[in-house]
Structures are given as structure tokens and as C-alpha cells.
Chains A and B, each alone.
Chain A
Amino acid sequence: MKGSLIILAFFAVGILCGLYRWIPFDFTAHRATTYTLYVLLFSVGFSIGNDKELLRSFRSLDPRVMWLPAMTIAGTLAGCAVASLFIPDRPTTDVLAVGSGLAYYSLSSILITEYRGVELGTVALLANVLRELITLLLAPLLVRYFGKLAPISVGGASTIDITMPVISRYSGREYAVVCIYHGIVMDFSVPFLVTLFCLI
């Protein structure tokens, strides 16, 4: 929770700097952000590949739970396709790209800004931050009415860090491994899906 507040604080201070022109330097005109993004993607990949504990914990999983990330992605895309009917002035692929952020708001908003401009990037940031907050707030209700896998699906990529403690509290500690596995598959899928829907 604290981590996401710090991230939002940086974004908010950036907005203030932009609104009141505190920084006499046009970032958008430079390629620096693109290269910084590449460093970020490489680092995200590195941290996935580097953690050998994670590979080991995969093997102790119930094989049927392996399908959960696929369900999360299919459910998210289906839900977003329906949601796009209520946003007639945005193309369906844009809505699917935003949904493909899977609560990984930092990476998805940066990627979408790169591909489709800062306006859709902002939608992605808000939508995916909101998804994480909803997971934190609704986890107990989701478990009660829709089973122990529901908060993990709703949590998307955040199940590997911010929402994991809440989920393991309400779904049970044995689901922490599922959270990690799910979060890794999401981390890997977000750049892939966002790129796909931005370029179609």
C-alpha cells in the first residue's frame, strides 16, 4: 500500500510541475523516456528470470490452478469488451489495451503512453490503480461469494506484491504460492497484450 502511494505521489507532483510549468524542459520532445522504458522492461524481465525460488514453488502447485492466469486474462478481456460498449468514442482495441494492464499500472500506463499517447496512458493509469484498490478493499467479499480464486484474478499482476498479504489472509496462506505464480504470468503478459492491442 505504501509503495503504491509513493508512486502516486510522484505522479501527482509531476502533474503539479506540468500544470504550473515548474520545470523549464520539454520531456516529451526527448527519446530519453523511451530508453528508460527499455531499461525498465529489461529489469522486470531480469527479476522474473533471476528468482529461482519462484521456479521451485511452481512445482508444488495444484495443476488445475495453473489455469487461473488464463482465466484472469480471458475474463478481463471479455469484461472490457463489454465495457467498451459503454465508451462509444474509444475504439474497442484501446479499451482492451487499458484492460490488459491487469493492475500493473506503472508499466501499462508507460507503455500505452508510448504507443497511443498520454491521454490513453492516463486512462490506463487510473483504471489499473483502481483495480488494485478494489482488490484490497473487496478481497473478503470476493472470497465469500465467488471463491478463493476470485481476489487473485481481480488482483491481476499486483498479486505478486501489494495485494498478496490481503489475499493470503482471506483465501488462506496456501494461496500465496498461487499469488506468486499468477503475478509472474501477469507481469510477463502485460507487455505482450498491451503491445498487441495497441498495434492492431
Chain B
Amino acid sequence: MLIVLAILLAGILVGYFSKWRLRRIDRLIIVIIWTLLFVLGIEVGSNEAIVSRIRTIGVDALIVTTGAVVGSTAFAWALWMFIRPRTPRQDAYKQEG
């Protein structure tokens, strides 16, 4: 399904060279997202296989999220430890801002 990436790239190129302003396209994006999630909701609600397995689905989602959060935290921490020595001490005081 290279078509997905081709469409995304086409959008970036057209967006870059277009004179059209950003705000209108953001409205369009949010309305499309509402529509598609509404349709996804209908598919989920009318699908008995999902409705009857909703607990398993919830637990699986929780496990995946836990993995994603722990993994990304660990890697971001590693980068932070690598970067921090060169960062001046003073930014410890800026935290309350």
C-alpha cells in the first residue's frame, strides 16, 4: 500500500508550495477525523465478535501501551543522560515557570 505514503508526500509537497492558509485545512482534518471515528464506532458497535471480546481488547491495549510508555521513557532518559552534562546548571531553577 504505497499509495498511503504517496498521498502523504503529495500533501506535503502541495502544502509547501501552496498559498492556501493553514487554518482551513485544520478544520477539514478535524471534521474528517470525527466522521471516520464515528464510522469506526458504528463498525465496532455492530460487530458482535468485538462487543463480546471487549475486555480482552481493553487488556491487550493496556499491555501495548505499558510497553510503549516504558520503552520510550527508557530511550528518552538515555538521550537525556547523554545530553545533560553540557547543559548549564541554571535550568534546574526554571522548572516552576
Residues in A lying within 8 Å of B, measured CB to CB: 3, 6-7, 10-21, 23, 27-28, 33, 36-51, 62, 64-65, 67-68, 71-72, 74-84, 86-87, 90, 95, 98-99, 102, 106-107, 109-111, 113, 115, 118-119, 121-128, 130-131, 134, 142-143, 146-150, 152-154, 156, 169-170, 172-173, 188, 191-192, 195, 198-199
Contacts and interface: CB of A to CB of B under 8 A. Distances in A.
Q: Which of A7, A39, A46, A82 has the most CB of B within 10 A?
A: A46
Interface in B7-26: 7-18, 20-22, 25-26
A170 B97 CA distance: 8
Which 8 residue pairs of A and B lie closest in terms of their CB atoms, listed nearest first?
Answer: A14-B41, A79-B71, A45-B11, A18-B45, A83-B67, A49-B15, A75-B75, A147-B80
Nearest to A19: B45
Contact of B72 (A15, A36, A79, A110): A79
Contacts of B61: 98, 123-124, 126-127, 130
Contact of A27 (B1, B39, B73): B39
Interface of B: 1, 3-5, 7-18, 20-22, 25-26, 28-30, 32-47, 49-51, 53, 57-58, 60-84, 91, 94-95, 97
B41 A15 contact: yes
A2 to B, nearest CB: 12
